[in-house]
């Protein structure tokens, strides 16, 4: 009997545990290790901050659901990995040996790299549900005495979509509350241009998102390094296309949310030969680490080089669709290795993203993620907002039931059916979907 340990119980790790158990059966042990008793549906965190979701609406208890499928669950951090001994050490001192290790921890949020950054200092975050909940409490206080807002993604971030989403969602929420006229908004990003997304742009993402920001009266600063986040302002250095600083100034802000720099978590980053200098796991085409081929990895913790060099450092995003593809490849390759077969399964490395804009949405498709591409387009419409809600319902259901059936289409079609009745936009929406 083989023991497969899945480290991380998020959007990559929990599905990986379910799929491994289903594929490998009772003769092999699957152990899921997470830092919390609850799965967090991270994409819904911006809604939590503005009060469109309660925190418990985007959380799923892990233990009863995975144990029902025969998966052992441990809710505590991994303190250390001895890769040459095939052993993980837990925070309480327990040690577990493994035959295969799947690392799906997500990132370490490196707030400490910029003075004043993070929930313990002067900025807010939507990267975790507790962060989003705390940001929501601050947002409620802000609404009683509104003023300028700064939202964006700092240098070293590799996930820009949530920053755009949050800016648009806050704009929509403020308009609904009749407070938008009292809140100057500025979008600050390390991207070389609006809509770069860490992908070199997708379709006309530049024109589309610039137009959206203009329409919503949101100013923007690109090629920006955040030097310091204060209690009532953000110190920003603007750079030219060669990366040289050209202007440094303070942007007033009474409520600030930044996507921080990402790094690998400490227990993973500390293993020699496993990671790049930022602590992200090095993998081959089969999701295996070249030094330790019984260690696989998926998700944001994987090392992917930037799509292109940018004047201010930006990372490449790992979207949910890509993560799902990585997980599928890992499951099949472990199954093949146990059967004595060579691995043959590869992730698709395609980027498909549904970005909610509050009362609208944008769908981005980049196939493959790195240019030149076979497919590259961006489509906008209310159908995307509805599709994002449908995906939330689909994924939360999947985490509750452990079902690996592709029920996504059913929920998307239901959302599009509602849209057809209410807006008459069904033809373009259905074709885009």
Angle subtended at Cα 136 by Cα 132 and Cα 138, rounded to the nearest 5 degrees: 120
Catalytic residue among 127, 159, 275, 301: 159
Q: How many Cα atoms sit within 13 Å of 58 on the Cβ side? A: 26
Residue 25 pairs with which residues in a beta bridge? none
Active-site residue flag, 159: yes
Active site includes 301?
A: no
Q: CB under 8 Å to 182, separation ≥6 — which residues? A: 146, 147
190 within 8 A of 154, measured Cβ to Cβ: yes
CB 182 within 8 A of CB 149: no
Contact 351, 364 (CB under 8 A): yes
Whether 356 and 388 have beta carbons less than 8 Å apart is answered as yes
Identify any residues that bridge with 251 across adjacent strands, giving them in sequence order. Answer: 234
Q: Which residues carry out catalysis?
A: 159, 353
């Amino acid at each position: 009997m083989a023991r497969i340990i899945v480290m991380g119980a998020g959007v990559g790790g929990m599905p990986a545990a379910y799929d491994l158990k289903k594929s490998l059966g009772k003769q092999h042990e699957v152990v899921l290790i997470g830092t919390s008793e609850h799965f967090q549906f991270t994409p819904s965190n911006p809604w939590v901050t503005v009060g469109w979701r309660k925190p418990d609406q985007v959380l799923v208890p892990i233990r009863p659901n995975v144990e029902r499928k025969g998966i052992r669950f441990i809710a505590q951090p991994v303190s250390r990995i001895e890769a040459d001994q095939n052993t993980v050490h837990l925070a309480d001192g327990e040690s577990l040996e493994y035959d295969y290790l799947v690392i799906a921890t997500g990132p370490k949020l490196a707030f400490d790299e910029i003075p004043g950054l993070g929930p313990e200092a002067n900025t807010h975050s939507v990267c975790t549900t507790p962060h989003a909940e705390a940001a929501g409490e601050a947002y409620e206080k802000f609404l009683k005495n509104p003023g300028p807002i700064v939202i964006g993604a700092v240098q070293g971030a590799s996930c820009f979509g949530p920053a755009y989403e949050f800016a648009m969602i806050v704009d929509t929420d403020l308009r609904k509350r009749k407070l938008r006229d009292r809140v100057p908004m500025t979008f600050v990003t390390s991207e070389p241009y609006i809509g770069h997304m860490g992908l070199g742009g997708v379709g006309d993402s530049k024109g589309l998102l610039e137009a959206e920001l203009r329409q919503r009266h949101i100013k923007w600063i690109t090629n920006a390094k955040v030097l310091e986040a204060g209690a009532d302002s953000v110190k920003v250095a603007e750079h030219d296309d060669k990366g040289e600083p050209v202007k440094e100034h303070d942007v007033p802000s009474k409520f600030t949310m930044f996507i921080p720099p990402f790094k690998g978590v400490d227990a993973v980053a500390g293993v020699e030969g496993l990671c790049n200098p930022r602590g992200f796991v090095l993998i081959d085409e089969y999701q295996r680490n070249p030094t330790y081929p019984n260690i696989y990895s998926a998700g944001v913790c994987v090392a992917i080089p930037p799509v292109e060099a940018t004047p201010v450092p930006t990372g490449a995003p790992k979207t949910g669709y890509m993560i799902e593809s990585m997980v599928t490849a890992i499951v099949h390759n472990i199954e093949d290795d146990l059967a004595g077969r060579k691995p043959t399964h590869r992730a698709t490395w395609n980027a498909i993203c549904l970005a909610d804009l509050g009362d609208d949405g944008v769908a981005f498709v980049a196939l493959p993620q790195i240019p030149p591409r076979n497919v590259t387009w961006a489509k906008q419409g209310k159908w995307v907002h509805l599709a994002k809600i449908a995906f939330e319902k689909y994924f939360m259901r999947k985490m509750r039931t452990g079902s690996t059936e592709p029920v996504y289409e059913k929920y998307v079609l239901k959302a599009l059916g509602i849209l057809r009745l209410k807006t008459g936009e069904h033809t373009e929406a259905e074709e885009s979907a």
